[in-house]
Amino acid sequence: MNKKYTDTVVVGFALFAMFLGAGNVIFPPFLGHSSGTDWLPALIGFLLTGVGLPLLGIIAVAVAGGTVDHLAKNVSKNFGKLFGSVIVLTIGPLLAIPRTGATAFELGIAPFLEETIITSIIATTIFFGITLYFSLNPSTVIDRIGKYLTPTLVAVLGIIVIVGFISPVGAPQDVSSENTFTIGFTEGYQTMDALASILFAGIVIGSLIDRGYKTVSDQISLTIRAGAIAATGLGLIYGGLVYLGSTASGVFDAGIHRTDLLIGISGNLLGSLGTAILGISVFLACLTTSIGLTTTVGKYFNDLSEGKLKYNHLVIGTVLFSLFFANAGVELIVTIAEPILITIYPTAIVLIIMSLFDKYINDKIAYRGAVVATFLIGLMDAFRTLDLNPKTIEIFMSNLPLAEYGMPWITPAIVCAILASVAKKLTSENMF
């Protein structure tokens, strides 16, 4: 078999496993349940930000040079370090790591024990105790386990989806009066995969270099092909789960929690045994994800501080904070994450898109104008989700082009990129 083909497939499946993340499987069914008969527009929106954007992120970083610093270099000298730190904190102790612990408990433990704060604390303490042990004592054991967990989880999800298509739990209902595309577009932020892709790109490029691909053209070509494999797998899994959620829109109450919905669907389709297998698979997959992310946080800030911040101290601090936050539960963590991700995600999107078209951007100050505008609009959009905007700003935000589709930042980004370039040109001309 052709070596390039084999390497592409191997890297593609590895990327798929990195992006799937056990915690992400709770979002598609809930999205379908909330959308009912309008599940397809919701799925399209979700796939754009939950699958398409991470793929573009990997490619953009590969094109830019391989790291978040390369991606952000045109904004300012230190912006890459700042943005990289924000990303690592977001996919680390602030949101993603606590969510893995909460999801592991709610899907893997709570269905079989009485769900109380005591059982939650005990379960998450054990979960993060194991995370701490393996993060402080790197071992190939957890990597080997991880290689078997992803196929197992995919197999379980695949069985649920197939059974759900053959014998659905119900029929999609007309349950949403909102723009479901917008709901899906912003729900895709919760996967945090576009943010993670900016860091994962370095791992992918490193893997390709180790496999003998030294030229940038080869690295970009194989990254695109491997990303396409990962995107196809994610699209199939997410699409099936969104559809299953839509079929359950008339069976489960509108206020059901994300984890309870997935448990309910799996139990309805496969019985208690199916729920148990799903719960165990998700628990163990969440554990490997937690260890991987905790290790990433420790290494990133240890390297950034040039060893001044000790790896062990960073890992211990990450685990303790995540343990505390995890007991807030998945739903509260998701609620807290919404305004944070609405602020950060658009900036990542703009950086990714501009980097892909970098050769057509003559004046690099355009990056700065676009990023500043995007961040400010994202911040105001986040305030809107919290009902904190003054009325005048709320009117301004609602009248921005594409606001109804969850993308009010696009026009300001374009306008400010152009204005920054024009302002620099006029300033330069006036100096002579």
Query: What span, in angstroms and rounded, lies between the C-alpha atoms of 359 and 158?
Result: 42
- Going by C-alpha positions, the residue among 173, 105, 17 that lies closest to residue 331 is 105
- Residue pair 241/161 in contact (Cβ under 8 Å)? The answer is yes
Range of the domain at 59: 3-359
Both 21 and 90 in one domain: the answer is yes
Whether the per-residue pLDDT at 1 is higher than 60: the answer is: no
The whole-number average pLDDT for the span 235-248 is: 95
Please tell me the predicted confidence (pLDDT) of residue 432: 46
Q: For all residues of the chain together, what is the average pLDDT?
A: 89
In angstroms, the Cα distances linking 155 to 21, 152, 244 are 14, 5, 16
Of 14-23, 159-168, 210-219, 280-289, the poorest mean pLDDT is in: 14-23
Both 284 and 154 in one domain: the answer is yes
Both 268 and 307 in one domain: the answer is yes
Element (H, E) at 40: helix 39-47
Both 404 and 261 in one domain: the answer is no
Torsion of CA 279, 285, 286, 291, to 10 degrees: 150
Both 209 and 143 in one domain: the answer is yes
| DSSP codes, 299-357 | HHHHHHTTTSS-HHHHHHHHHHHHHHHHTT-HHHHHHHHHHHHHHHHHHHHHHHHHHHT
Of 308, 339, 359, the position where a domain reaches its end is 359
**Both tokens assigned to 170:** 């119900």
21 or 54, which is more confident?
Answer: 54
**Both tokens assigned to 227:** 């990303």
Query: What span, in angstroms and rounded, lies between the C-alpha atoms of 331 and 23?
Result: 12
Whether the per-residue pLDDT at 405 is higher than 70: the answer is: yes
DSSP 144: H
- Residue pair 96/208 in contact (Cβ under 8 Å)? The answer is no
Both 78 and 152 in one domain: the answer is yes
Whether the per-residue pLDDT at 142 is higher than 60: the answer is: no
Whether the per-residue pLDDT at 395 is higher than 80: the answer is: yes
Q: What percent of the chain has pLDDT over 70?
A: 96
Please tell me the predicted confidence (pLDDT) of residue 140: 61
Query: What span, in angstroms and rounded, lies between the C-alpha atoms of 33 and 122?
Result: 31
Please tell me the predicted confidence (pLDDT) of residue 141: 58
Whether the per-residue pLDDT at 430 is higher than 70: the answer is: no
- Residue pair 244/265 in contact (Cβ under 8 Å)? The answer is yes
Both 94 and 104 in one domain: the answer is yes
- Going by C-alpha positions, the residue among 228, 229, 211, 219 that lies closest to residue 61 is 219
Both 86 and 118 in one domain: the answer is yes
Both 302 and 407 in one domain: the answer is no
Main-chain phi, psi angles of 143, to 5 degrees: -65, -40
Residue type, 36: G
Query: What span, in angstroms and rounded, lies between the C-alpha atoms of 64 and 52?
Result: 18
Please tell me the predicted confidence (pLDDT) of residue 104: 93
Grade residue 263 by pLDDT with cuts at 50, 70 and 90.
very high
Of 336, 359, 382, the position where a domain reaches its end is 359
Query: What span, in angstroms and rounded, lies between the C-alpha atoms of 194 and 21?
Result: 13
Main-chain phi, psi angles of 305, to 5 degrees: -90, 5
In angstroms, the Cα distances linking 135 to 130, 131, 294, 310, 318 are 8, 6, 7, 13, 11
Which residues make Cβ contacts (< 8 Å) with residue 78, sequence separation at least 6? none
Please tell me the predicted confidence (pLDDT) of residue 363: 86
The whole-number average pLDDT for the span 248-275 is: 91
92 alpha-carbon distance from chain centroid: 11
Burial label, 224 (beta-carbon count in 10 A; 0-12, 13-18, 19+): middle
- Going by C-alpha positions, the residue among 52, 60, 58 that lies closest to residue 352 is 60
Please tell me the predicted confidence (pLDDT) of residue 145: 64
CA-only gyration radius of the chain, Å: 22
Residue type, 103: T
- Residue pair 103/23 in contact (Cβ under 8 Å)? The answer is yes
Please tell me the predicted confidence (pLDDT) of residue 66: 82
Query: What span, in angstroms and rounded, lies between the C-alpha atoms of 364 and 358?
Result: 9
CATH of the domain at 289: 1.20.1740.10
**Both tokens assigned to 176:** 């949403």
Both 345 and 386 in one domain: the answer is no
Grade residue 77 by pLDDT with cuts at 50, 70 and 90.
confident
Both 352 and 374 in one domain: the answer is no
Both 178 and 30 in one domain: the answer is yes
Query: What span, in angstroms and rounded, lies between the C-alpha atoms of 30 and 189?
Result: 14
- Going by C-alpha positions, the residue among 319, 321, 53, 344 that lies closest to residue 184 is 53
Is pTM, for the whole model, over 0.75?
A: yes
pLDDT tens-digit profile of 116-138? 888 999 999 999 999 999 899 86
Element (H, E) at 294: helix 258-304
Please tell me the predicted confidence (pLDDT) of residue 428: 66
Residue type, 44: I
The whole-number average pLDDT for the span 188-204 is: 89
- Residue pair 278/266 in contact (Cβ under 8 Å)? The answer is yes
Of 359, 386, 412, the position where a domain reaches its end is 359
Whether the per-residue pLDDT at 144 is higher than 70: the answer is: no
Q: What percent of the chain has pLDDT over 90?
A: 56
Query: What span, in angstroms and rounded, lies between the C-alpha atoms of 299 and 215?
Result: 27
346 or 393, which is more confident?
Answer: 346
Question: Domain tally for the chain?
Answer: 2
Whether the per-residue pLDDT at 87 is higher than 80: the answer is: yes
The whole-number average pLDDT for the span 156-160 is: 90
The whole-number average pLDDT for the span 394-410 is: 91
